[in-house]
């Protein structure tokens, strides 16, 4: 029999309603001091097409630290540099980027965030 320590926290992402914007969906579990978000870019999804208007910024201005579970995500920074992150890759994206699903398979990644203060200080 297992016992659950009072300071441990648990969430099940599949039990959380999706926040959908065009071809991009997100589910976020809030734990003490950290948010864990499962993000899926369906085939054809692109941040600048699906989330730009909602965000109200030219590029995504949130930092991301994430593990890609399946598919591939293309990312372009404001300076034009590009990278593709695929299944099993860990990515750290600073603010100021666009991102899109690469190929015929949806891309899903799990992001760990301390919020917008990640790069502060």
Neighbours of 36 (CB within 10 A): 17
- Is the pLDDT at 119 greater than 80? The verdict is no
Q: How many domains, the chain?
A: 1
- Is the pLDDT at 115 greater than 60? The verdict is no
32 in any annotated domain: yes
28 in any annotated domain: yes
83 in any annotated domain: yes
14 in any annotated domain: no
Mean of the per-residue pLDDT values of the chain: 90
Q: Say whether pTM exceeds 0.95.
A: no
pLDDT tens readout for residues 22-73: 999 999 998 887 899 999 999 999 999 999 999 999 999 988 999 999 999 9
Lowest mean pLDDT among 2-16, 34-48, 91-105: 2-16
Backbone torsions φ then ψ of 11, nearest 5 degrees: -145, 150
45 in any annotated domain: yes
Domain that holds residue 76: 19-115
- Is the pLDDT at 117 greater than 70? The verdict is no
In this structure, what CATH number is given to the domain that contains residue 37?
2.60.120.10
Q: What percent of the chain has pLDDT over 90?
A: 76
- Is the pLDDT at 2 greater than 90? The verdict is no
In the chain, DSSP assigns E strands to 19-21, 24-31, 34-41, 64-70, 72-77, 82-86, 90-93, 97-102, 107-113
Residues 29 and 11 sit within 8 Å (Cβ to Cβ): yes
Q: Can you list the alpha helix ranges (DSSP code H) found in the chain?
A: 47-50, 52-55
Neighbours of 50 (CB within 10 A): 20
Residue 118 binned pLDDT confidence (cut-offs 50, 70, 90): very low
104 in any annotated domain: yes
7 in any annotated domain: no
Give, as one character, the DSSP assignment of residue 18.
P
Residue 1 binned pLDDT confidence (cut-offs 50, 70, 90): low
110 in any annotated domain: yes
């Amino acid at each position: 029999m297992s016992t659950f320590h009072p300071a441990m926290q648990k969430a099940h992402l599949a039990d959380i309603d999706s926040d959908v914007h065009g071809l991009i969906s997100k589910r976020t579990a809030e734990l003490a001091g950290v948010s864990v978000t499962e993000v899926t870019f369906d085939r054809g999804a692109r941040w600048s097409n699906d989330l730009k208007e909602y965000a109200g910024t030219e590029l995504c201005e949130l930092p991301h630290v994430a593990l890609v579970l399946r598919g591939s995500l293309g990312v372009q920074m404001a300076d034009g540099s590009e990278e593709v992150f695929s299944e099993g890759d860990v990515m750290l994206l600073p603010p100021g980027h666009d991102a899109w699903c690469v190929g015929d398979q949806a891309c899903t990644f799990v992001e760990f965030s301390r919020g917008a203060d990640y790069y502060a200080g």
